[in-house]
Amino acid sequence: MIIDIHGHYTTAPKALEAWRNRQVAGIGNPAETPEVSELRIADDELRESIESNQLRLMRERGLDLTIFSPRASFMAHHIGDFQVSSNWAAICNELCYRVSRLFPDHYTPAAMLPQSRGVDSATCIPELVKCVEQFGNVAINLNPDPSGGHWSSPPLSDRYWYPIYEKMIEYDIPAMIHVSTSCNPCFHTTGAHYLNADTTAFMQCLTSDLFKDFPTLRFIIPHGGGAVPYHWGRFRGLAQEMKKPLLKDHLLNNIFFDTCVYHQPGVDLLTRVIPVDNILFASEMMGAVRGIDPETGHHYDDTKRYIEAAHIDSAHRHKIYEANTRRVYPRLDAALKAKGR
């Protein structure tokens, strides 16, 4: 089985974006604010949005299952207050859940949290609980920067985040550390902010003792880990200067990297530097980079091609494609075993 851990609902029906635009307009003019009940998207619309897009490509590329979450750039936690984020997260999470019900063999949901700038992180817990207990979510996406590129929140090691971590431990679920849209003109959303955040999250963990407080906490750092695997010597050296344990002892029991690196040399380096047990297959299909690479004639986000061509053996590919994901996402593993998969 090939499990893609990094899927977003980037092709949701246009009615979702139209409702969101009305919600944002209503921040300055409450009379414009739509009710949640005003958003109506039929199952047939969901089917069409999936079958002709992500599911078509999954079948063409030989992928079996996607962990599916709301569109990352749409989370936009910097917009409005907690109530705005709460309504928006609930709508987006329910759509991903509905997709998983319509295509149970191909999609399983992960939750967006209703984060909001300057708000107690415990306010996210009711939505997290609902998504796990009612929707069967197997993970969450955690935005380390709800300010949208201005980094006004405490680092991930701060006790501010502990209510979320405690619930993650209770449910035995991991978090993908994933920012959203940048409203800071210095940082392009997908070309800078995403990769900056991946690197920043790793460094926040490196400089802290977070995993002493939460030894079973699991983070996935997407997009190949930002700069981390490609400057591994720098991070090893910094840890050494700070009198931290070796990275393989200090962080790699808790931090994992996905394969959303859109060229062969990048994946080759990732698989040579990072232990195979810490690499999980992902494509971010129909996400940040959708075009065809003129050097190869294939889509940049067809990451399975890079894993197949990497200098690793079949046992290591199996770990990347399936075994590691089952270990890092135990709720998914349990659900698959219940289905005989």
Q: Which of 247, 258, 255 minimizes the C-alpha distance to 216?
A: 255
**What tokens were used for 186?**
């210095």
**What tokens were used for 337?**
């075993």
Query: How is 76-98 classified by DSSP, letter by letter?
Result: -TTSS-HHHHHHHHHHHHHHHHH
Active site residues: 284
**What tokens were used for 245?**
């344990």
Q: Measure the CA–CA gap between 150 and 159, rounded to whole angstroms.
A: 20
Query: How is 108-175 classified by DSSP, letter by letter?
Result: EE-EEP---TTS-GGGGHHHHHHHHHTT----EEE-S-TTSSS--SPPTTSGGGHHHHHHHHHHT--E
**What tokens were used for 260?**
């959303």
User: What is the DSSP code (8-state) at residue 105?
Assistant: T
Phi, psi of 128 (to 5 degrees): -60, -45
CB 8 within 8 A of CB 284: yes
User: What is the DSSP code (8-state) at residue 177?
Assistant: E
